[in-house]
Structure formats: structure tokens, C-alpha cells
């Protein structure tokens, strides 16, 4: 009988140990899950927080401030530009012709206003309705100081206007001496001096074909040649700049082109 009781107690003891081991094992398996839950919740919370921050960054700009920025840039009023930016204006807001504040400042040759916009991160490559950009406009205005301001924004010098030309081509047409000097000598500016537009003209050809042969165009031709303009390039009719100069009676320019 005693032996039977010992066997019974031993079996009961072993069964209890097995139950205890199973419980411990279950607790052990459950523990990591419980520890991961707060971490997962924290991660989810962090993600939600990050999303919230992202939404803050993507909030719409102030419409009134954006309108004021267009006006201030167009009129060249630096204080008003600062104020509009501080109030949350959209730097890339557009007027009816899709011109941005920076393009308007460049068009009006308002270098201080343009500098403020550049420093705030305005895009020098924003294209308007007639395919102008802030940088391309400088070739029309001929502003060397604006060229320096916009060069700091690292514009894309390969973009072309509605005639397929770079900024140097209209500068050649108008005889913008200071601008051509700036663009052809400034190491931070990289405009292709021999780019050919849709009409088949380079800056050199345009300076002769559309120029008046006067002192400004003579100096422009001299600067273009010094900057690496290729005098042998022909237009669509097969004529070089020299041939055009001779036909137009631009004697001094013809002399320069003969080299």
C-alpha cells in the first residue's frame, strides 16, 4: 500500500511539474508580444506624428500674401516682398500670364527684390505662358546685375525661349554690351555661345542680322568673338555673319569678323 501511495504521489508530483512548466513556457512566449506592443504603438504614434508634420509642411500658402508678393515683385518693393514671404506667400504663385514673382522682378530689373526671392528659394527656371523664365528674361533686358543675382540660383542655362534661343541671342540682337560681357566672362555662368535657335541664328549672327552696326553691336560682336563665338557658322540660307555684315554695309563689324 505504501509503495502504491508513493507511486501515486510521484505521478501527481510529475504532473504538477509538467503543468508548471507549461505555464512558464506560455508566459515566456507571451512576454515578447507584450513588450512589442508598446513599441509598435510608439512607432505608429511616431509615424502619425511624422505624417502630421508632413501635413503642416504641405499646408496651402496664404492667398492674400501670394497676391501681395506678385505685386511687390513687379513693383520692386523689397520690404513688401519680405513681408509677403514672412506671411506665407507662395514663392511660385503665378499671375494671369503665368509669371512668377521672380520672373516679374527680373523683367522689371528689380535686383534687390529678386535677390530676396532667390535667397528664399524661388525657382529661376519657372516657365511662363510665352516660354520665358527669370533667367531667359535677362537676355532681353540686358541686365548684368540681374544676371549675377540669378546665377546664384544655379539656373538651367540650356532652357530656351519661344524662338528656341538662349539668353545670349536676344542680347546679341539688342547689343547689350554689359550683359554679353558678364555672361561670356563670368565663370559661374555657362551659356552655349554657339547655340542655334529655331531661325538658324546664333548670338553672333543675330547681332549682325538684327543689329544696326553701331558701336554697341560692334562691341557685342567683339565680346562674342572673344568668348568663343564661331564666325564660320552659317544661317539657314548658307550665309555667315561676315557675309551678312558685308551685305548690310557694316564695315567695322565686317573687319572684326575677318579677324
Domains, the chain, with CATH or none: 60-129 (1.25.40.20), 157-259 (1.25.40.20)
Q: What is the pTM of this model?
A: 0.76
The rounded distance, in Å, linking the Cα atoms of 165 and 241 is: 17
Distances (CA, A) of 81 to 74, 84, 86, 137, 152: 10, 5, 9, 20, 19
Give me 81's grid cell: 516682398
Check if the beta carbon of residue 166 is closer than 8 Å to that of residue 192.
yes
The confidence score (pLDDT) of residue 20 equals 42
The confidence score (pLDDT) of residue 119 equals 98
Per-position pLDDT tens, the chain of length 259? 434 444 444 444 444 444 444 444 444 443 333 333 333 333 333 333 333 333 333 357 899 999 999 999 999 999 999 999 999 999 999 999 999 999 999 999 999 999 999 999 999 999 999 999 999 999 999 999 999 999 999 999 999 999 999 999 999 999 999 999 999 999 999 999 999 999 999 999 999 999 999 999 999 999 999 999 999 999 999 999 999 999 999 999 999 999 8
Amino acid at each position: 500500500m505504501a509503495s502504491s501511495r508513493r507511486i501515486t504521489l510521484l505521478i501527481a508530483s510529475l504532473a504538477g511539474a509538467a503543468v508548471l512548466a507549461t505555464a512558464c513556457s506560455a508566459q515566456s512566449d507571451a512576454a515578447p508580444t507584450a513588450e512589442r506592443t508598446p513599441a509598435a504603438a510608439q512607432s505608429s504614434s511616431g509615424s502619425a506624428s511624422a505624417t502630421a508634420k508632413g501635413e503642416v509642411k504641405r499646408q496651402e500658402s496664404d492667398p492674400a500674401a501670394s497676391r501681395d508678393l506678385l505685386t511687390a515683385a513687379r513693383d520692386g518693393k523689397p520690404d513688401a516682398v519680405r513681408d509677403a514671404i514672412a506671411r506665407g506667400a507662395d514663392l511660385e504663385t503665378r499671375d494671369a500670364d503665368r509669371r512668377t514673382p521672380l520672373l516679374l522682378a527680373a523683367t522689371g530689373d528689380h535686383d534687390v527684390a529678386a535677390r530676396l526671392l532667390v535667397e528664399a528659394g524661388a525657382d529661376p527656371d519657372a516657365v511662363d505662358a510665352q516660354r520665358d523664365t527669370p533667367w531667359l528674361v535677362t537676355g532681353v533686358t540686358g541686365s548684368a546685375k540681374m544676371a549675377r543675382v540669378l546665377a546664384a540660383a544655379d539656373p538651367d542655362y540650356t532652357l530656351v525661349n519661344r524662338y528656341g534661343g538662349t539668353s545670349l541671342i536676344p542680347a546679341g540682337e539688342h547689343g547689350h554690351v554689359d550683359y554679353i560681357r558678364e555672361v561670356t566672362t563670368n565663370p559661374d555662368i555657362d551659356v552655349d555661345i554657339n547655340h542655334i535657335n529655331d531661325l538658324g541664328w546664333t548670338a553672333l549672327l543675330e547681332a549682325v542680322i538684327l543689329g544696326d552696326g553701331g558701336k554697341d553691336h560692334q562691341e557685342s560682336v567683339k565680346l562674342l568673338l572673344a568668348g568663343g563665338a564661331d564666325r564660320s557658322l552659317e544661317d539657314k540660307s548658307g550665309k555667315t555673319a561676315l557675309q551678312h555684315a558685308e551685305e548690310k554695309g557694316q564695315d567695322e563689324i565686317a573687319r572684326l569678323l575677318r579677324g
